[in-house]
Amino acid sequence: DFDVAYFHSYAHVGIHEEMIKDRARTETYREAIMQHQSLIQGKVVVDVGCGTGILSIFCAQAGAKRVYAVDASDIAVQAKEVVKANGLSEKVIVLHGRVEDVEIDEEVDVIISEWMGYMLLYESMLGSVITARDRWLKPGGLILPSHATLYMAPVSHPDRYSHSIDFWRNVYGIDMSAMMQLAKQCAFEEPSVESISGENVLTWPEVVKHIDCQTIKIQELDSVTARYKFNSMMRAPMHGFAFWFDVEFSGPSTVNQKKRTNPSDALVLSTSPEAPPTHWQQTIVYFYDPIDVEQDQVIEGSVTLSQSKENRRFMNIHLEYSSAGRSFVK
């Protein structure tokens, strides 16, 4: 039932419009396809969660012999029409169904997918990419993107806090501070998807999880735990932690050893506060009350991201943090 609702949400055109209009996202994928054209030309590709079919069409334009465009949402009906309108029905085969259920009667050379959710792992679509890999990908085949990294860092965001909370101190001359506790719960109970800038970030980020799409197993996605230790670079109120991710488009190490030994050469799509904005923005876990930190103050603890038992597409976040002798759990 949860999956029915999830796929139904992707039948709405607005969600695809937002993704396609995200130029950083769409143009980086097209650039990655062209950069790896030698590995796509004349080869068989599967596009996991193809949506409107735009990535499948890019692969066909790059010379793919055949592209299986798979989507469980009803948007697959429109994808089929888009493929037809572009004269690619012979090359791009749209399969309406889940990757776990559809049948492809040959091995594939390439898997492409835009599977990343907010905070990288929300929606758990990476599991479908892993399933496609294990079902159809030839050994040493290409997966785009090839790697993903989730980062976190403490942030200070006084404007957001005052906009949502301090506003209640004086409302048209009336003291409504009795509303502040409820306002904090409503504003900061759940993670917030919004854009911040590098100026909001108090420290260098730390890696929460690095993913190699060639080797990761589905079981690894059940729960991810990381310990962290930050040193504040300035004196400021700390309002919470921000999370963002990068994905990297590298060729298989056997084909392109140089690129793997120097990942800085690889094409990267970043959702960092320093990067051009994307529809993923950043994900922020706010505290109910800020913590004042001094320069060089240590902030340490652990974060656990686990798939919800009720709905695997949802994610539970357990955050433990301590600073200056005080410990907290969120």
Domain ranges (residues) in the chain? 1-114, 147-329
Cα 48 to Cα 51: distance, rounded to the nearest angstrom: 9
Q: Is 114 a catalytic residue?
A: yes
Q: What are phi and psi of 323, to 5 degrees?
A: -160, 140
Cα 164 to Cα 129: distance, rounded to the nearest angstrom: 39
Cα 157 to Cα 85: distance, rounded to the nearest angstrom: 48
Q: Are 168 and 122 in contact (CB under 8 A)?
A: no
pLDDT at 257: 45
3.10.20.880, 3.30.1330.10, 3.40.50.150, 1.10.10.10: which CATH number matches 1-114? Answer: 3.40.50.150
Tell me the CB-side half-sphere exposure of residue 178, using CA atoms within 13 A: 3
- In the chain, the largest separation of any two C-alpha atoms, in whole Å, equals 71
Q: CA nearest 245: which of 216, 194, 205, 198?
A: 205
Residue 253 has pLDDT above 90, yes or no: no
Q: Which amino acid is at 8?
A: H
Which residues does residue 271 pair with via DSSP β-bridges, in sequence order?
none
Q: Is 310 a catalytic residue?
A: no
From the list 31, 90, 106, 114, the catalytic residue is 114
- Give per-residue pLDDT as tens, 165-193: 999 999 999 999 999 999 999 999 999 99
Q: What are phi and psi of 268, to 5 degrees?
A: -130, 135
Which residues does residue 248 pair with via DSSP β-bridges, in sequence order?
147, 268
Residue 63 has pLDDT above 70, yes or no: yes
pLDDT at 14: 78
Q: Are 33 and 40 in contact (CB under 8 A)?
A: yes
- Encoding tokens for residue 282? 């950043």
Mean pLDDT within 152-166:
94
Cα 129 to Cα 120: distance, rounded to the nearest angstrom: 14
298-307, strands of its sheet edge to edge: 223-231, 298-307, 315-323, 326-329
Mean pLDDT within 311-327:
91
- Give per-residue pLDDT as tens, 115-154: 999 999 998 799 999 999 999 999 999 999 999 999 999 9
Cα 219 to Cα 226: distance, rounded to the nearest angstrom: 16
What is the separation of C-alpha 325 from the centre of its chain, rounded to a whole number of angstroms? 34
SS3 label, residue 66: strand
pLDDT at 145: 98
147-329 fold: Hnrnp arginine n-methyltransferase1 (2.70.160)
Q: CA nearest 75: which of 140, 134, 142, 7?
A: 7
Q: Which helix (H) or strand (E) holds 152?
A: strand 147-155
Cα 277 to Cα 197: distance, rounded to the nearest angstrom: 10
Mean pLDDT within 83-93:
97
From the list 90, 123, 189, 190, the catalytic residue is 123
Q: Are strands 298-307 and 326-329 parallel, antiparallel or unpaired?
A: unpaired
Whole-angstrom CA distances from 112 to 53, 67, 89, 99 are 11, 10, 19, 13
